[in-house]
Structure 1
Amino acid sequence: MSTNPARVLIVDDSALIRQMLTELLSADPGIEVIGTAQDPYVAREKIKQLNPDVITLDIEMPRMDGLEFLRRLMALRPMPVVMVSSLTQQGADATLQALEMGAVDYVAKPTQDLQHGLAEKGRELAEKVKAAAAARVRVKQAPKVRPSSTLTPAAGFSSTEMIVAIGASTGGVEALTEVLAALPAASPAVVVTQHMPASFTSTFARRLNGICAVNVVEATNKARILPGHVYLAPGDQHLRISRSGANYVCSVGGQDRVTGHCPSVDVLLHSVANAAGKNAIGIILTGMGKDGAQGLLQMRTAGAKTLGQDEATSVVYGMPKVAFEAGGVETQLPLGKIAGRILDICVKEKGGAVRV
């Protein structure tokens, strides 16, 4: 990895925000702010002149909005982009669109007391910018309508009682979309923790539900976990699973930070290890940090099958790497093969023939 500072271009129509972001990022020795731009047209010229490693991009700007600029940028000159967007419902939807188009990450812009709120996010912003500088930009348009799954269960397939638990962070919006959209309607039940603010997860669940054959919902407390359904942890609460008689149910609650996050992947995976044991599959996808490593190790120790996204297809090979090095990952796979492996494991565990 390069030891040179990440060279950043800040794109925002507000002079105050450009100044604040410049000061916040410049305080980190691992970052050099090489320029600012008040709109995408100025940004386009500065990208040509300065060749930045990373762009921070506002969504609402004059002359051309951030989404349209991002779409053109990813088509002509793909590069790491960190979105800076509001926590409003409209902001959440636009940010998810940006992540689906290839933006690496985002920082939520506070809606009140902007100066103090942004200052509090200085460390988060700097860490995300540095991670973006080292990220692999994968440009992919998400499906626009609910498709037929790209996979068909093999003979002998059964999803009964199997639980699939997935954790993701940076790059996870695109990665989860690819994995879940490839699953057939008859898939095993899936529980997911994706690092995301509270105002984003309900929007993300709705967007996934519109493009997947499985039913995707934001998890609610005591909801029964059913095959063919995906349950996404709310952005400000932990998701656990527990047994209720013969059924698995969602347990949603608690706002303490575990491994630095709420919701936490570790919290989810520990609960799956305890409740489902060997009748589960644990998966760590792209992400920054170490959340999920210990939970996945506990799942593997309990007899579950465990998978990790490989380095080549991870936007940020942080969480999968730590989980692999800790011994929690049994098999590393490219992102495009994970959905198929889920179905193969279900076949094998039920005594059927594994698909080739």
Structure 2
Amino acid sequence: MEPYRILVVDDSVFMRKIITDLIEEKSEFQVTAVAKNGIEAIEKALELKPHAITMDIEMPVMNGLQALERIMEVQPTPVIMLSSLTEAGALETIRALELGAIDFIRKPSGSISLDLYKVKLLLHEKLRIAVQTRLRALPPVRSSRPYEISPKPGSAPAPAADRSWRTTAEPLVERPRPSQEESGGDKTARVIRDLVAIGTSTGGPRALQCVLSALPANFAAPVLIVQHMPPNFTKSLSLRLNDQCAIRVVEAEEGQILTNGTAYVAPGGLHMTVVQSDAGDYRIALSKSEPLSGHRPSVDKMFASLLPLKNLSRHAVIMTGMGSDGARTLAELRRDGATTTIAESEETCVVYGMPRVAVENEAAMFVLPQGSIAGKLIERVMKDSGGR
């Protein structure tokens, strides 16, 4: 079998060499070309049609976000972004995932052998997923404020001919909205009768944006979210979603009281569950207990915490992602009388793994494309709540 063709894009000669060497340690992959900026990346993607691309974000002439956006328009190709662990790097990565990148890894330092070893394992794992991913034409994501990274020092602007597809909005900053408690608003927001829980992995940030941005501000349920993602990135994801959605979106904190119309994103590296307090309200519980289904946070862990809450109408959703996390407990929730269980259909999944297992286990009452999930949740929650 011929090796999969990989295009490596990075402005650093040193990093191009490191990434190429890491990739080619597995004979199943071959780096057929490298590019030092976004314009070269677009040209070589069109010319060589690689099976996958690794893409740096900060580059001169044309940055990685601009190149990714254009590649997804003219030659859709699975792209893995190389991200820094800074807050700015995390925000840029979330934007890249919205634009169509299927995943990301942190950029190797090149100085510590253990660091390179960990990056190598992740890189090979994600490349195997990437080369098997069938990208479909994706509709533009709804975005109130597109995000653009600051130019790299010494970089030149993109040529005038390319400016038509550049994002030009100011960088994303937090747009805080007071909670019901903070604003002294409607106290019924804390009267919980319905609870929505969503689990997702590869392709999840874009899927979450699609679903959450379609929910109304007065959505009559809290929404719990487990997205497989490292620490820091989940904070940036919640900020980005909060900026785009009518409902409030936050990174979950220990002991938070659940309120309707708010989504809670599990922090990277921590399991998130929900418990009922002695006072009768429902609160977030976070823990560093052992990974479950290979993940922390785990969708199975979150879904399992809903099983004792039989006095609530429970609505659980599994969307795009590799593996089977959440499928087993989604089936348990259905058998336990959950009001709604949904699996995303294959046609809109970036990776049809977690939803596929849920469908095979007959865990899903509804198998729906991404664009129909919010409507079904609104219908089921409002019907169950008597239209409140």
Q: Give the TM-score, by structure 1 length.
A: 0.89
Partner of 1:155: none
Paired AA for residue 238 in structure 2: A
Cα deviation code 1:265-319 (max 9, x no counterpart) = 1111111223347620110010111111112122112111210000001111111
Q: Do residues 26 (structure 1) and 46 (structure 2) align?
A: no
Contact 2:193–2:312 (CA<8 Å) still a contact in 1?
A: no
Partner of 1:102: 100
Partner of 1:91: 89
Partner of 1:228: 261
2:374 aligns to what SS in structure 1?
Answer: helix
Q: Do residues 182 (structure 1) and 182 (structure 2) align?
A: no
Q: Measure, in 2, the Cα distance between the counterparts of 1:261 and 1:341.
A: 28
Residue 246 of structure 2 is aligned with which of 213, 231, 235? 213
Partner of 1:153: none
Partner of 2:227: 194
What's the CA shift for 1:46? Answer: 2.4
Paired AA for residue 328 in structure 1: A
Cα deviation code 1:153-184 (max 9, x no counterpart) = xxxxxx94100000011110000001000001
2:234 aligns to what SS in structure 1?
Answer: helix
Q: Do residues 70 (structure 1) and 68 (structure 2) align?
A: yes
TM alignment of 1:108-257, pairs within 5 A: 108-110=106-108, 113=111, 116-135=114-133, 136-137=135-136, 138-144=138-144, 160-187=192-219, 188-245=221-278, 246-254=280-288, 256-257=290-291
Partner of 2:367: 332
Paired AA for residue 366 in structure 2: T
Q: Measure, in 1, the Cα distance between the counterparts of 2:295 and 2:54.
A: 23
Q: Do residues 344 (structure 1) and 372 (structure 2) align?
A: no
What's the CA shift for 1:343? Answer: 1.5
**Cα-Cα RMSD:** 2.2
Cα deviation code 1:210-258 (max 9, x no counterpart) = 1111111111111111111101100111100111142211001215321
Residues 113 and 303 (structure 1), Cα distance of their counterparts in 2 relative to 1, 3 Å cut: farther
Aligned length: 339
Residue 329 of structure 2 is aligned with which of 295, 308, 312? 295
Q: Once structures 1 and 2 are overlaid, which stretch shifts more, 277-286 or 242-251?
A: 277-286
Partner of 2:165: none
Q: Give the TM-score, by structure 2 length.
A: 0.82
Contact 2:108–2:119 (CA<8 Å) still a contact in 1?
A: no
What's the CA shift for 1:115? Answer: 5.1
Q: Measure, in 1, the Cα distance between the counterparts of 2:78 and 2:310.
A: 39
Residues 277 and 335 (structure 1), Cα distance of their counterparts in 2 relative to 1, 3 Å cut: farther
Cα deviation code 1:1-41 (max 9, x no counterpart) = xx764321111122232222223222334433222222223
Q: Measure, in 2, the Cα distance between the counterparts of 1:28 and 1:345.
A: 48
Residues 332 and 270 (structure 1), Cα distance of their counterparts in 2 relative to 1, 3 Å cut: same
2:347 aligns to what SS in structure 1?
Answer: coil
What's the CA shift for 1:62? Answer: 2.2
Q: Measure, in 2, the Cα distance between the counterparts of 1:86 and 1:31.
A: 24
Residues 185 and 4 (structure 1), Cα distance of their counterparts in 2 relative to 1, 3 Å cut: farther
Q: Measure, in 2, the Cα distance between the counterparts of 1:24 and 1:110.
A: 10
Paired AA for residue 216 in structure 1: V
Q: Do residues 56 (structure 1) and 91 (structure 2) align?
A: no
1:107 aligns to what SS in structure 2?
Answer: strand
Paired AA for residue 213 in structure 2: A
Q: Measure, in 1, the Cα distance between the counterparts of 2:318 and 2:212.
A: 14
Q: Measure, in 2, the Cα distance between the counterparts of 1:119 and 1:191.
A: 34
Contact 2:320–2:355 (CA<8 Å) still a contact in 1?
A: yes
Partner of 2:318: 284
Paired AA for residue 348 in structure 2: T
1:70 aligns to what SS in structure 2?
Answer: helix
Paired AA for residue 140 in structure 1: P
Contact 2:193–2:385 (CA<8 Å) still a contact in 1?
A: no
